[in-house]
Amino acid sequence: MNAIISASELASDLAGTTPPTLLDVRWQLSVAKAAGEPSFDGRAEYAAGHIPGAVYVDLDSELASAAGGRGRHPLPDLAVFGAAMRRAGVSAGAPVVVYDGGQGWAAARAWWLLRWTGHPDVRVLDGGLPTWEGALETSAPAPAEGDFTPVPGAAGLLDADGAAALARSGVLFDARAGERYRGEVEPIDRVGGHIPGAVSAPTNENVGTDGRFKPAEELAERFKSLGAGGGSDVGVYCGSGVSGAHEVLALAVAGIDAALYVGSWSEWSSDPSRPVAVGAEPQ
């Protein structure tokens, strides 16, 4: 099953006999600004207009638990996550489509969590809400309670030790911007740099100028050139396990299975005992 869906395909599915459950996960990374600008409010954006039938899901409170020693967006409490999914109408036997404001990171986080906890049919709207050409609605739907119960998978998740080992035994991609990987800048975390042995693979290079994923063949070639696709185990990390989920999604589009280090650099760099590499080379 393809991990992404186009806006035209979604419109057709919504008009069909078994329309998918729609989740709106609009979110942006909140970084304090000297100008005092208000932080992004995904719920307000949803209320101003969303794809008909979509239910809003909050990334910070329902797709992650509170920031702390395990990173800025650690795994959510599964009871909280499961309740949020059922409230949104998610059932194990019904398809789900997730979208966000176009960046794709938040939608990918929801996609990854649902897949990791056992949902068999989840796709992300390629390019997000900006690609939708149909009408929007402002009223919030009240779907019937879903029956989805999350059960974590045995594979697909890395902790710090697992990420360190995979960087040496397989391929560990760093999905952040190249300058953060190299340690030239670090706007959020304690220290700049990367996990020793990790390969720089910025998420933004997986999409075109329209925000849609590049063709599967092109993505497969990109990841192959970076060391994946040859039978080695593959993992991904980012700043806090959000943009990294988007890279896992890109790898899925390319036909490559990958695990996610959810704690990512925000967890790794908070521990002074963890080694840090800088520069353009994995080391």
How far, in Å, CA of 90 to CA of 151, rounded?
14
Residue 174: other Cβ atoms inside 10 A: 29
The 8-class DSSP code of residue 138 comes to -
Say if residues 245 and 109 touch (Cβ distance below 8 Å): yes
- Short-list 269, 61, 98, CA closest to 174: 269
Task: Choose the catalytic residue: 238, 245, 250, 259.
Answer: 238
Catalytic: 44?
Answer: no
> Which residues are CB-contacts of 134 (< 8 A; sequence separation ≥ 6)?
7, 11, 51, 52
| Virtual torsion, Cα 226, 113, 115, 105, nearest 10 deg | -50
> Quick check: 221 and 185 in contact, CB under 8 A?
no
With the CA atoms of 59, 65, 67 and 72 taken in that order, what torsion angle do they form, in degrees rounded to the nearest 10?
-50
CA distance to 87, 139, 278, per residue, from 101 (Å): 21, 18, 33
What pairs with residue 99 in β-bridges? 24
Angstrom distance (rounded) from CA 129 to CA 100: 6
**Cβ count within 10 A of residue 11:** 14
Tokens representing 143 are: 């779907």
Residues designated catalytic: 238
